A and B are shown apart, each in its own frame.
Chain A
Amino acid sequence: MKIQTKFLGEVDIEEKGIISFSEGILGFEESKEFVLLDIPENDVFKVLQDTVHDYVAFIVVNPWKFKGDYALDVPDEELQELKINKEGDIAVLSIVNLSDDFEKSTMNLLAPVIINAEERLGKQYVLNSQSFSTKEPLFAVVEKKSADS
Chain B
Amino acid sequence: MLILNRKLGESIMVDDRIEIKILDVSDGKVKIGIEAPKSVKVFRTEVYEEIKEENKKASDVSLEGFNKLKGPLK
Binding site for B on A (CB under 8 A): 6-7, 25-28, 39-42, 44-45, 56-59, 75, 77-78, 95-98, 100, 102, 108, 110-111, 124, 126, 128, 134-135
When chains A and B are docked, how far (Å) is the Cα of A64 from the Cα of B29?
A: 39
B58 contact from A42, A58, A75, A110, Cβ within 8 A? A58
Interface membership of chain B positions 4-35, coded 1 if the CB is closer than 8 angstroms to chain A and 0 otherwise: 00000000000000000000000000000000
Q: Report the bound CA distance from A108 to B47 in whole Å.
A: 12
Interface members, chain B 39-54 (any A CB < 8 Å): 39, 41, 43, 47-48, 50-54
Q: Is the CB of A96 within 8 A of B58?
A: yes
Chain B residues with Cβ below 8 Å from A124 are 51, 55
Question: How many Å from the CB of B49 to the closest CB on chain A?
Answer: 9
Interface of B (DSSP majority class): helix
Q: Which of B50, B54, B65 has the most C-beta atoms of chain A within 10 angstroms of its own C-beta?
A: B54
What residues on B are CB-neighbors of A96 within 8 Å? 58
